[in-house]
Amino acid sequence: MHDQLMEIYKKLFEHFGPRHWWPADSPFEMIMGAILTQNVSWSSAATAIESLKNEGILSIEGILSCDPENLASLIRPARYHNQKAKKLQSFCQVAAEEFGGDLDAFLSLEMGTLRERLLGIFGIGPETADCIILYAAEKPIFVIDAYTKRIFSRLGFCPEKISYEDLQQFFMSNLPQDVDLYNEYHAQIDALGHHTCLKSKPHCGECPAAYRCTARQA
């Protein structure tokens, strides 16, 4: 199974090239982006991040000092702005109150402990928590998203409705625990899901993994 997964990875990498993911200037920016990109495109989240930068509040202190209504207005491009403002401030409150604002101390927690604490924060579910662990804390955990389920069920590796935990375990038990590999593999999957392996009208003729797809369309 390891060889099959690595073969697909190599074909994706050859097709898309390095994805340079996650696009952020700091771990804190990455974390804010992971929350803002929930249920929206990355371009929308990036616009919201830019608004926070322009306002000079892209920091734990800055987010906490901002009035919730003003914060929601600034991140409006990311949609669900009222809920996401609350999510941003909830994360920053934990970082400030439990770790004295020391994000490095927060991210240096043992991976299981860090994941458990992240999941206890309002608005952070498994995918967002794992993105933070992989891309901000640089710890080896494989991120699962809707693209991963769609692509690997079509490739015949798993049922379409497999659970997050089961699919994550599938990857992590069949690939070496390597931060760089998990980073790039997830980015390649997202590229394939976003550009090629679409939900309703996949571009199968452009897919580098179509050779083993069970749902390939002519």
Q: Residue 6, CB half-sphere, CA atoms under 13 Å: how many?
A: 9
Q: At what angle do helices 2-16 and 179-195 cross, to 10 degrees?
A: 60
Instruction: Compute the mean pLDDT over every residue in the chain, rounded to the nearest whole number.
Output: 96
Interatomic CA distance for residues 21 and 187, integer angstroms: 6
Pick one of 1.10.1670.10, 3.40.50.720, 3.40.50.300, 2.60.40.1180 as the CATH number of 2-20+142-212. Answer: 1.10.1670.10
The CB density around residue 74, as the number of other CB atoms within 10 Å, is 20
pTM as predicted? 0.95
Percent of the chain's residues with pLDDT above 70: 100
Choose among 6, 51, 5, 12: nearest CA to 32.
Answer: 51
Q: How confident is the model at residue 215 (pLDDT cuts 50, 70, 90)?
A: confident
Instruction: Please tell me the distance from the alpha carbon of residue 200 to that of residue 174, in angstroms, as a whole number.
Output: 29
Residues 28-71: tens digit of each pLDDT: 999 999 999 999 999 999 999 999 999 999 999 999 999 999 99
HEC string for 64-113 = HHCCHHHHHHHCHHHCCHHHHHHHHHHHHHHHHHHHCCCHHHHHCCCHHH
Which tens digits make up the pLDDT trace of 179-210? 999 999 999 999 999 999 999 899 999 999 99
Cis ω for the linkage preceding 42 (within 30 of 0): no
Contact predicate 150/193, CB 8 Å? yes
List the domain boundaries for the chain: 2-20+142-212, 27-136
Give the tens place of pLDDT for each residue, 92-120: 999 999 999 999 999 999 999 999 999 99
Task: Compute the distance between CA of residue 145 and CA of residue 167 in angstroms, rounded to an integer.
Answer: 10
What DSSP letter does each residue of 172-188 carry, written as one string? Answer: HHHS---HHHHHHHHHH
Q: pLDDT at residue 218 above 60?
A: no
Q: How confident is the model at residue 214 (pLDDT cuts 50, 70, 90)?
A: confident
- Is residue 60 exposed (0-12), middle (13-18) or buried (19+ Cβ within 10 Å)? buried
Q: What is the pLDDT of residue 47?
A: 97
Question: Cα(first)–Cα(last) distance of the chain, in Å?
Answer: 27
Task: Report the CATH number of the 27-136 domain.
Answer: 1.10.340.30
